[in-house]
Structure 1
Amino acid sequence: MVSRENLGTYGVWLPEAEWKPGVAAVAERLGYGALWVGGSPDADLETVELVLNETEHVVVATGIVNIWKSDPVDVAASYLRISEEHPGRVVVGIGSGHREASPERVRPLAALKSYLDVFDAEGLPKEDRLLAALGDRTLALAAERSLGAHPYLTTPAHTRHAREILGPHALLAPELKASIADDQDTARQRARKYLRFYFGLENYRSALVRFGVDEREFDDGGSDALIDLVAANPTGADAAEGLRAHLDAGADHVSVQPMRQDVLGSLEKVADAVGLTRGA
């Protein structure tokens, strides 16, 4: 089973398609403690298994399996098969997705509870699962019935509030985008292009507004201040500062999502800035 300490302080979050051969092995050598397979991985958890096979000790987590897309019995069976080969290294993150992308998304909290009921019945332990959680009720459910919460596209203000809801013992593992580039204008442009879609999703936008972002900040793809807040840029030092802000607000672990073609170069710069590579 996985504990909070197993994940380390810093992780890497990449969309499933970006976990190309060799990326996970380098990320592990750089000192990151957990590797997050983002997007909506299929129930077979194929990419999770590939990343595990390429590494030796890091935890590999899904961020997240969509409960409307993947059958919980199938997900649990994949977990049991993979964790037998890689004990203590697999975490299944699940979430209810977005209303805009999942028309069937009705009563998501009840659906999450039912999904967890199946995990209980199939033998996927509480300690090896977590929830994508933004709102208070989902955060409370995460603390009650899983290892903890994995909020995506949030601010340190949300992290501080989430810690209050989760209590002291549940894992809190937010994500921060890092747009590393030669200059800030380029970094912001890349981040703005990527984030335009996410700023149009009600749950993310509402959470940002709830914790201090003015609605006007979303105009024209996002103000410079908003982009800098959720996609630290343009240096590794900037990313390190953003990651530490979440830790200071109560996070146990923060994953960095590099936003550029040179993924490994970005990860190395961030790892250097937070001290992961010191003495390596």
Structure 2
Amino acid sequence: MTTWPALGKVGVWRNASQVTPALAASLEELGYGAVWLGGSPGGDLRIAEDILAATATLTVATGIVNIWQDDAAAIGAAYHRIADAHPGRFLLGVGAGHREATARYAKPYDALAAYLDGLDAAKVPVEGRALAALGPKVLRLSAERSAGAHPYLTVPEHTRQAREILGDGVLLAPEQKVVVSEDTEAARRIAREIARETVHFYLRLSNYTNNLRRLGFGDDDLAGRGSDRLVDALVAQGDPATIKRRVDEHLAAGADHVGIQLLTAEDQDPLPGYRALAEVLFA
């Protein structure tokens, strides 16, 4: 059984450009166990180091480092620098990105396996890394050669299927988009306006659409900015208790940890939403 850094049951997934040390410290105080840095943070990973330095117990995970942006040796060196300074509090999430995003793109499985070879050479421990994984083949790779899987843009049914593939004792940490409002209709409006745009980006990417098709969504669901059915499935909407029920569905389906991605109206301070959720999630 692989032991990975402590994540807690619930953390926060947020674009790295939107995470400051001050926000991370507030999230730690509220009880969140981890912050996932999205948007392909790479290079020397100084942002992870800055957040860890500003907090005491929070785990920082990358969600994910794109393997096409930085070579394994450079990322391995950054991993050791961070892990040595903050032992047990950093998880290196890596992934192959999207076929449509780079001319260098090769078969995801082969590219990921080669990158893991590079991380092995850099002596990044298996328990210190995780893979972005959606389909069965990469899920199995994540179980064989990392702490586990970090699926993105999924539903509890995918979590159930992923757990069956991964088996026991392997990390499963899905991301879950949420919109929080005591006014259900207001939450739904934000989901339609903000979340549709968030979802729409991924509907142009074959690895995500293939996964959604495996989950039973069809052409009508994937057309345009996504059907109401698709948006409702991918984005939990409503008051904090409603959001908690979706998180609990993932946990009951086999997730060890859920990274919530809070979507808000433009320029809205996200901290009140995280606070309202924490009062229910950690009661």
Q: Give the deviation of 1:5 after TM superposition.
A: 7.1
CA distance in 2 between partners of 1:262 and 1:223 (Å): 28
Aligned residue pairs total: 275
**SS state of the match for residue 221, structure 1?**
coil
Contact 2:62 2:92 in 1 (8 A): yes
Residue 279 of structure 2 corresponds to residue 272 of structure 1: yes
User: Which of 229, 236, 239 is the matching residue for 2:240?
Assistant: 236
Would the alpha carbon gap of residues 4 and 248 (structure 1) be closer, same or farther in structure 2, given more than 3 Å must change?
farther
**SS state of the match for residue 233, structure 1?**
strand
Structure 2 gaps, min length 5:
none
CA distance in 2 between partners of 1:155 and 1:212 (Å): 11
Residue 262 of structure 2 corresponds to residue 258 of structure 1: yes
- Alignment partner, residue 222 of structure 1: 226
**SS state of the match for residue 243, structure 1?**
helix
**SS state of the match for residue 37, structure 1?**
strand
- Alignment partner, residue 99 of structure 1: 99
Q: Give the deviation of 1:224 after TM superposition.
A: 2.2
Q: Give the deviation of 1:72 after TM superposition.
A: 0.6
Q: Give the deviation of 1:129 after TM superposition.
A: 0.2
Residue 162 of structure 2 corresponds to residue 162 of structure 1: yes
**SS state of the match for residue 6, structure 1?**
coil
User: Which of 211, 219, 223 is the matching residue for 1:207?
Assistant: 211
Contact 1:43 1:71 in 2 (8 A): no
- Which moves more between the two structures, 150-159 or 213-222? 213-222
- Alignment partner, residue 41 of structure 2: 41
Q: Give the deviation of 1:50 after TM superposition.
A: 1.2
Pairing 1:147-158 to 2, within 5 Å after superposition:
147-158=147-158
Q: Give the deviation of 1:194 after TM superposition.
A: 1.9
- Which moves more between the two structures, 141-150 or 4-13? 4-13
- Alignment partner, residue 75 of structure 1: 75
Contact 1:179 1:188 in 2 (8 A): no
- For 1:255, the aligned partner's letter is G
Q: Give the deviation of 1:31 after TM superposition.
A: 0.7
Q: Give the deviation of 1:231 after TM superposition.
A: 1.1
- Alignment partner, residue 89 of structure 2: 89
CA distance in 1 between partners of 2:224 and 2:71 (Å): 39
CA distance in 2 between partners of 1:90 and 1:252 (Å): 17
**SS state of the match for residue 7, structure 1?**
coil
- For 2:249, the aligned partner's letter is A
Would the alpha carbon gap of residues 239 and 79 (structure 1) be closer, same or farther in structure 2, given more than 3 Å must change?
same
- Which moves more between the two structures, 41-50 or 214-223? 214-223
Pairing 1:129-148 to 2, within 5 Å after superposition:
129-148=129-148
Q: Give the deviation of 1:220 after TM superposition.
A: 4.1
Contact 1:187 1:234 in 2 (8 A): no
Contact 2:5 2:91 in 1 (8 A): no
Structure 1 gaps, min length 5:
none
- For 2:143, the aligned partner's letter is A
For residues 134-177 of structure 1, the C-alpha deviation after alignment (integer angstroms, 9 at most, x for no partner) is: 11111101000100000000111111111111111110000000
Q: Give the deviation of 1:219 after TM superposition.
A: 3.4
Contact 1:25 1:55 in 2 (8 A): yes
Instruction: Note the aligned Cα RMSD (angstroms).
Output: 1.5
**SS state of the match for residue 137, structure 1?**
helix
**SS state of the match for residue 165, structure 2?**
helix
Contact 1:177 1:232 in 2 (8 A): yes
Contact 1:66 1:97 in 2 (8 A): yes
Percent pairwise identity: 46
CA distance in 1 between partners of 2:250 and 2:217 (Å): 16
CA distance in 2 between partners of 1:271 and 1:263 (Å): 12
Residue 170 of structure 2 corresponds to residue 188 of structure 1: no
- Which moves more between the two structures, 170-179 or 230-239? 230-239
**SS state of the match for residue 180, structure 2?**
coil
Contact 2:4 2:128 in 1 (8 A): no
Q: TM-score, normalised by structure 1?
A: 0.94
Q: Give the deviation of 1:225 after TM superposition.
A: 2.4
Q: Give the deviation of 1:214 after TM superposition.
A: 2.5
Q: TM-score, normalised by structure 2?
A: 0.93
